Structures are given as C-alpha cells and as structure tokens.
Amino acid sequence: MKKNMAIFALSAIFLFSCGKKKDDSASQDTANPFFKTWTTPYGIPPFEEIKAEHYIPAFERGMEEQIAEIDAIVNNPEAPTFENTILALEYSGELLYNVAAVFFNLMEAVNSPEMEKIAENISPKLSKHSDNIGLNPELFKRIKTVYDNKENLNLTAEQMRLLEENYKSFVRGGANIPVEQQPRFREINEKLSLLTLKFGNNVLKATNNYKLVVDDVAQLEGMPKGQLEAALEAGKADKATEGKYVFTIHLPSMEPFLMNCKNRELRKELWTAYSTRCSSDSLDNSEIINEIVNLRLERANILGFPSHAAYVLDDCMAKTPEAVNNLLMQVWKPALAKAKKEAQEYQKMIIAEGNSFKLAPYDWRYYSEQLRKAKYDLDDDVIRPYLSLENVKEGIFTVCDKLYGISFKENNELPKYHPDVETYEVMENDQVIAILYLDFFPRESKRSGAWMTNFREQYVKDGKNVIPIVSLVCNFTKPTAEVPSLLNFDETSTFFHEFGHGLHSILSKCTYRSLSGTNVPRDFVELPSQFFEHWATEPEVMKMYAKHYATGETIPDELIDKLEKAATYGQGFINTELLAASFLDMDYYTITKPTNITLPEYENAAMKKIGLIPEIISRYKSPYFQHIFSGGYSSGYYSYTWAAVLDNDAFEPFKEKGVFDSETAKSFRTNILEKGNTEEPMTLYIKYRGQEPSIEPLLKNRGLK
C-alpha cells in the first residue's frame, strides 16, 4: 500500500492558506528544529530534536509563510506566466511541507495521545488553509490565464503536465463552484478532516485493546514452535501476562493462529474480536461512516458529479464506476466459483473428522492450511525457516542490483524516529540517490498493515537534484532470543510489494515534486508494487534469498516445486475477499442520494447483492476499512485489481526473456519508475509494453481461467 499521510493531509502540495499572528520570539526559533536549516546528513529530519510542542507553532508559521507566498503571486503586477505563477506555486509552502511530512508519518508509526490531540487541533486548520488557496479567485484567475495560453508558451512536456495538473486540481478543489456554496464546501472539508482522523484512531485503539491470553499450552495444539515463542515473548510486555501466551489481532499474530490452532473456540474468539472491531461501544465507527459517505456525496454534488465515485474516478485511469464494475465482475465470477469449490472441499474435511458443524469464516484459514499440507505436502512451519526477514531483505537488495544497478549501504549514524528502524543509503555509481528507512515490527503506537511513504520526495530545484527520503513500514513477527523474524510467503510478498512502491520513489527522475515518484493516479500507483512481487516467487530468485536461518541451506528444489504447484491454491478465497471489499467500497461511494446507512444491514445487503458466500467475509468490514474511510482509497480499492491486470501483463516480457533481462528492466525503469506523473499513465504503459494491457495473464496466473 502506498500511503503518504503528509500528502493526504495537505490535499495537494499547493493547496494551503491561513491567518495566524506570527510569533517572532527568538527563543522559540532557537528551540524549534523546524525553524532551522537542518544540518543532518542529506537534510533528514532531526527526529531526536523534534518534540510534540514544536508541531503547532511550525504548522502555523508554515501556513503563514505560504499565505505570504501566495499573496506575492496574486499581487504580482506582471502578467501571469508559467514561471511567476505555476512554478511559484509549486515551490511555495516548504516549511509546511516539511512539518506535515514528519508529523503525519509519525502519527502512523509512533502515535501517542499527545499526537492525536495535535492532529485534532491542526487538521481542520489545514483543511481551511487548503480551501483558502483552492478557492482563491485571483490565484485561480492567474492559473487559468496561463492555462488558456498554454499552446503559445513553448513549454516542455513536463512543464505542460505540471500546468495541466495544477489547473485540474484547482477545478477539482472547487475553484469553479459558486461563491454562495463555498462556505458549505469549506465546512464539509473541515468535518471530513476530523472524521477520517477519528476513524483511524478508533481502529488503532480497538486493535491494541484486544489480547487473547492462554495459560495452558495444551489448548494451542497445532501452533508452530516459533509462534508459541513469539506469544510468550508478547506476554512479557505486561506483568499480568508474563509466562502466558498472548495473541493479538495484529496480522503477524492472528494469521498463524487462525491457520494452525486446532482449538475452534479459541479461533472463534480471536476472529470475532478482529471482525467486530469498532462496531460497538465508545470506538464504534458506524455513525462516522454514515457521515463520511454523505458528506463526500454532498461535496461531489457541489463539484458537479453525481457521486463521490464519479468524482474520484474522473481523475483515474478507470474514469467511470461502470468501467470499475466491469473489470471487477470479470474476475469476480471465476473467483467466486473457485471459492465455492474450496468451501466444499473444506466442508468434506470437517465431516471426515467426525464433525457436523458448518464451515465458518474462522475455520477457513485452518482447513485451507490443512488441505494445503495434504495436497502439496506444504507446511507453513517448514517454509518459514527459509524466509528469515534478514535473508528476504538481502534477496530484495540483490534483485534491485541485478535489475537496476542500485545497492543499499546501511548507515546507523543517520537520524532515526524509533530504535527499531534501519537506515540505508541507496547507491548508484558510487552516488547516494535516496535514503531508505525500514520499520519492520509491530508496536502499540503503530497502526496495523504495511505501507510505503516519504519524508521527502524527489525533485529538482535551482539545478540541484533533491534526493527522496523513503520509508517502508511493516508489521512482521518480532524476533525472539532464539529465533529471528521468520516470514510466511504472504509476508514475503508484502515486503516485495512495499519495496516496489519504494523503487517508484527511489528511482524517480522528475523536475517537479508534485509530479514525482508515486504521485500518480491511484489505480496506477499499485503497478510498480504488484509488479515487483513477481520476483518473490521466481525459482531463480528464491534460491538467492530463501536460505535456512539456522543451517544456511538453500531452499531445496523439491520445496520450490511444491510451491510452484500450489501457486494458484486458495486463489478463490484470496480474490473473493479482495473483490468483495472493492465492491463494498463502490457501493458506499456510488450512492447518488443522501442515505441513512445502518450497519451491519447496509454491508450485508451489499455482500448479498454480489453473492458472497457466508464462509467468507469482505477483506475489511466497514467499521475498520481504513483504506476507504481514513486513507486515500475511497472509490479506489479496486485499484489493486486494476493494477493486477497491468502488473501481470507487464511481467510477460520477463517470462519470455528472463527475469533479469537488462533491456526489459531498463525499459520499465525509464518508462514507468522514473517518470512519475509526467505523462498519462496509459501512455507510459504503452511506451514500456508496446500495447495496452490484456486481462488474460491475470486470469491465467491466478488459476481463474
């Protein structure tokens, strides 16, 4: 998942404005690191110097500085030009960008009650600031003047793209809406900024609040030794649970438990806690969802769109909800048919065991794992020892070197925001081209999941290339005193996935920050990440990184063969739960009239409409569906499937010519990874592939054809 909280918070890099009195206190300037030139290596944020009390003054001054810069643009007596209007806008708000990039990223990774209060304070102010610029008629007038004269300006292709994207962003930000509707438009944006923040905070708290504590190891029959050790280690965090086995609903703890624990009642207890998060009590997100959906609809209507989905998709490759649903249905029908066959197989296993209960969602992973062992002689506990986090990481580094000629040099002297974080200089031809942060393990201050983000994006200013500062944040099982962090194959793919996002930013070669790296349409941003996942499963690559953590033995051919034969195993479930979430997202955001949404009735109706079987739930149930209610994927969760069509088609040349074919790798780098949003995504894709993508490789690779 690509997630840049700073960018989400700012809406767009140029949309800010506010009006606070400036504090000229010299002592404050001295104490606040945001008011100094950072002398850290590569201009990395000086994390150890930044305290909670520094954020509000820095946000407020950042908004003041940008409003002064905007005023200078608006009051410029010279006629509007690309340089004095578009470029001036692009480079405005440097302080605000810096403080937001630090604050909102740390909110995700090292959150605290104090940070939450700051966010509640500053989010509506940022929303107001953004609207003040986006709705500034004199500023838009200058932009429109340049835009209307664009054919006579002799602009480069990238300059033209920047101009067009600026103009489009102002229009989409409300620049053309009638004056009488602007107060309500502003009010909606402010409300949404707080509601989405509260939604995410509730999910984080609910996830951290639950622990399954087991006293007797006999109740944990089937659990791998490594997972039991990790559960004992988790118990040490609290005196009340020391010496006991503690499991949580963070995925590294929950997934192995559901896959391996024979105790059905314990599986049910853990699953229920996971799947009912934020649906009751003080952390209930139900009413928040209702408000978010209706406010987004109202905002879309003000902007001239019939639904929020129509508004969002107008700026994506898909363009329309109809195109999204057409794609999803092409995959849904064969995936659902396969899922039904999988359910029948698992029910037969239940009956063969002498049981009469009906397969339930908390049984699915357990029987899927049992059947996988029986069919393919594949045991998750046998695979994990070959997938130590350290070995997988080194394998990824090797793949990057072979494909793109870049290497990673660890530098522990670089500033860190948490002791667990690893820091690297990314090298090419003996030059540092990026800084990379790797943050692997769960903690209560970190939200669940995995994502890539930036503390700074790549761009060029005054002829100097500014290198990106990239961060990959995951939640893998922590190492114990005896055993390193061991991944399963899904987690290995997740690591490759996030690294693919990272490469999109690391290898960016763009002039303008707002166009660089991952600043592309939502349904294109997942192409580089999902594309890079293909290398995780290639036998040639696996032999580079899959080495037994204790013996150093390379993964045997026999085990690779088993993995290849099982490659499409379980794809009915995997695709069905993903697509169900995509349909649910579209259901919420294709409503065209204000709706009184009640849960779980609304969600149940949506799932019934597409025929989802009761043994499977949507990958995310509504109350904790952060992607669409507190992240940047509203009307965009389909993008994982849209990008899957692209990535499977994009990998075909490597299958034909070799997974490290230099010519193909160079083409993907120069046409996709380096280009950011400097051209239309489909144009870039065709330059790489020579044709538009076909859905056939996706259906074939997932065993759905």
Identify the domain boundary among 276, 300, 331.
276
Is residue 611 in some structural domain? no
The burial of 684, by beta-carbon neighbours within 10 Å (0-12 exposed, 13-18 middle, 19 or more buried), is given as buried
Question: Do 61 and 156 sit in the same domain of this protein?
Answer: yes
Helix (H) or strand (E) segment spanning residue 472: strand 469-473
Residue 286 in tokens: 């139900």
Domain contains 106: yes
pLDDT digits (tens, 9 = 90+) for 611-645: 999 999 999 999 999 999 998 899 999 999 999 99
Q: Which of 253, 276, 299 is the last residue of a domain?
A: 276
- Contacts for 398-401 with beta carbons within 8 Å, 24 or more apart? 398/544, 398/545, 399/535, 399/541, 399/544, 400/499, 400/503
- Same domain assignment for residues 221 and 128: no
How far is 343 from 340, CA to CA, in rounded Å?
5
Q: What is the mean pLDDT of residues 556-578?
A: 95
- The predicted structure's pLDDT at residue 28: 58
Given a cut of 60, is residue 545 above it in pLDDT? yes
Model confidence pLDDT, tens digit, residues 8-17: 334 333 332 2
Res. 379 pLDDT band, cuts 50 70 90: confident
Kindly state whether residue 532 falls inside one of the protein's structural domains.
yes
485 and 531 co-located in one domain: yes
**Opening angle at CA 631, ends 628 and 636, nearest 5:** 50
Q: What is the pTM of this model?
A: 0.92
526 within a domain of the structure (yes/no): yes
Same domain? For 248 and 155 the reply is no
> 236 and 124 in one domain?
no
Q: Please tell me whether residues 140 and 223 are part of one structural domain.
A: no
Residue 562 has pLDDT above 70, yes or no: yes
Degrees to nearest 5, angle at CA 309 with 306 and 310: 50
- Domain end: 260, 276, 292, which one? 276
Strand (E) positions, 121-277?
A: 212-214, 245-247
The verdict on residue 513 lying in a domain is yes
**Count of CB atoms situated within 10 Å of the CB of 21:** 7
- Do 168 and 218 fall within a single domain? no
Average the pLDDT over 111-119 and give the result. 96
Split into its structural domains, the chain has a count of: 3
Sorting pLDDT into bands at 50, 70 and 90, what band is 30?
confident
Q: How far apart are CA 288 and CA 203, in angstroms?
A: 12
Residue 83 located in a structural domain: yes
In tens, the pLDDT along 447-496 reads 989 999 999 999 999 999 999 999 999 999 999 888 999 999 999 999 99
Q: What is the CATH number of the domain that holds 478?
A: 1.10.1370.40
Q: What number of other Cβ atoms are within 10 A of residue 174's Cβ?
A: 21
- The b/e string for 120-130 (b: 16+ C-beta within 10 A; e otherwise) is eebbbbbbbbb
Residue 592 has pLDDT above 80, yes or no: yes
* 308: its two tokens: 């929020």
Which two structure tokens, joined as six digits, stand for 89?
A: 């806008």
The confidence score (pLDDT) of residue 2 equals: 72
Residues 149 and 267 in one domain: no
Confidence class for position 705, pLDDT limits 50, 70, 90: confident
Q: Are residues 443 and 542 in the same domain?
A: yes
CB 621 within 8 A of CB 603: yes
Using an 8 Å Cβ cutoff, are 576 and 612 in contact? yes
Q: What is the pLDDT of residue 481?
A: 86
- Is pLDDT above 70 for 670? yes
Q: How many CB atoms lie within 10 A of CB 119?
A: 23
**Predicted pLDDT at 432:** 98
How many angstroms separate the CA atoms of 283 and 566, rounded? 40
Q: Look-up: residue for tokens 């923040």?
A: 197
Straight-line distance from the first to the last Cα atom of the chain, in angstroms, rounded to the nearest whole number: 27
Least confident interval from 7-11, 93-97, 374-378, 404-408: 7-11
Interhelix angle 225-235/251-260, rounded to 10 degrees, is 140
The residues annotated with a catalytic role in the active site are 498
Confirm whether 413 is domain-assigned.
yes
What distance in Å separates the CA atoms of residue 657 and residue 646, rounded to the nearest whole number? 18
Say how many C-beta atoms besides its own lie within 10 A of residue 276's C-beta: 15
What mean pLDDT is reported for the chain? 94
Domain extent at residue 99: 5-134+136-172
325 falls within a domain: no
- 91 and 216 housed in the same domain: no
- 649 and 527 both lie in a single domain: yes
**141 and 73 belong to one structural domain:** yes
